[in-house]
Amino acid sequence: MITLTWQRIIDSLGIIGEFLIVIVLLVALLEAYLYLVFYRKPRQKWMGVFFYGLEVIDAAALVALFYLMLVAAKTPSATLLQGGALFFVISLVVIFLLSTRRTTKLGLAYLLIAPAFLGILFLILYPFGYEIYLAFTNAALRTMRHPAFGLQYGLTNFKDVFTGTVAHKATFWEVLIRTILWTVINVFFHVTGGMVLALLLNRPMKLRGLYRTLLVFPWAIPQTIAAMSLRNEFNYMYGFFNVMLRGVGLQPISWLQNPHWAFVAVVISNIWLGIPFMMVIILGGLQSISKEYYEAAEMDGANAWHQFWNVTMPLLRPVLTPAIILGSVWTFNNINVIYLITQGGPQERTDILVTSLYKAAFSFYRYGFSAAFALVIFVFLLAFALVYLRISGGLKAVYE
């Protein structure tokens, strides 16, 4: 058992601090290099070949430094890193001394974009590329140190996703249907509940700010804390729901032991947690609609229902479309609520795709299979987003 001591805490903070310092230094070197590329030019034309050649060499050195510090599996020697960094800095100084200032329209844009690009590269693109590589290997607990890569392994992994079990006994198609049901129910109630609350809060009323604050609380509370609290509310003996049922003379329900009611429990929990976010998004959209539209509709004889369908909904479409897509993706991938309340049980009957994926990777150690499984989920969600955008036409107003 690992004992948490002050020395261990200090050592851990030191490691984190060293990593952050390395990131800052690498970003600073990149910014310095981009400054020289866009804001400096050779003093003399005959220096051009040497000047630009040195810039190309520095670009290669910078890529090598990034790879050695952030990507390489084995820690490189300090001498190699120090030598590479020293060469890069000296080269930058030489380029600066051989150059003169020039004006540019794009320099500032690239300087500002560079840190964000690095974040996307190392936090999204590189892991995604590694995920694709891993999907075509036989990586598992016994082969993780030296996994074999090949097309046959990838085909086997993808075949196993669709024809085998994705966790212990559950199949992909069984879990997919449950995931779609979970997503549709949650998003429907998120949007409906958020719309109703947003319409109510958009009207003039006393203490409107207080009501908005109170209604945002379920979303503002960390989801881990909220889910663990809700798990206790479904306790058979002392949970809030069964206490209420006994209070009205009904029999208590085995929420977390019965597969059917366990699924209902996690759906209720996620609906309660997700409505406030949708309410805030829709409320912002409602406040952006000019009152002149409603005045014109009222002059034409439109009642409240006609105003809602012919004025409010069309003008909310650019807001609702990305909100529904984001809500669907988040709900589809929401592992927290299910894992913290039921752990996918009982009998894997509350598992959705991402919880089955988690179990396949970290309970059964099927890493290559899990990578292929993750890519299948990604393609499914990408297809849904593209089809929904095409059918709803929710982004037309942006381009028109």
Amino acid in position 55 = E
Distance CA 277, CA 394 (A): 19
d(C-alpha 99, C-alpha 340), whole Å: 60
CA-to-CA distance for 141 and 118, rounded, in angstroms?
31
Asked if 65 and 22 touch (Cβ cutoff 8 Å), the reply is: no
Which regions of the chain are under pLDDT 50? 1, 73, 398-399
Asked whether the bond before 218 is cis by omega within 30 degrees of 0, the reply is no
C-alpha to C-alpha distances, 207 to 5, 204, 213, 228, nearest whole angstrom: 49, 10, 10, 31
Can you say how many angstroms the Cα of residue 109 is from the centroid of all Cα atoms in its chain? 26
Looking at residue 76, its pLDDT comes to: 56
The whole-number pLDDT of residue 2 equals: 59
Which neighbouring-strand residues pair with 40? 101
pTM of the predicted model over 0.95: no
**166-365, what's its fold?**
MetI-like fold (1.10.3720)
Nearby residues of 158 by Cβ (< 8 Å), 6 or more positions away: 135, 372, 376
Contact 112, 56 (CB under 8 A): no
Q: Tokens at residue 308, please? A: 């809602």
Secondary structure E strands in the chain: 40-42, 99-101
- The CATH 1.10.3720.10 domain(s) of the chain lie at 166-365
Alpha-carbon torsion (140, 142, 145, 150), positive or negative = negative
What pLDDT shows up at residue 71? 62
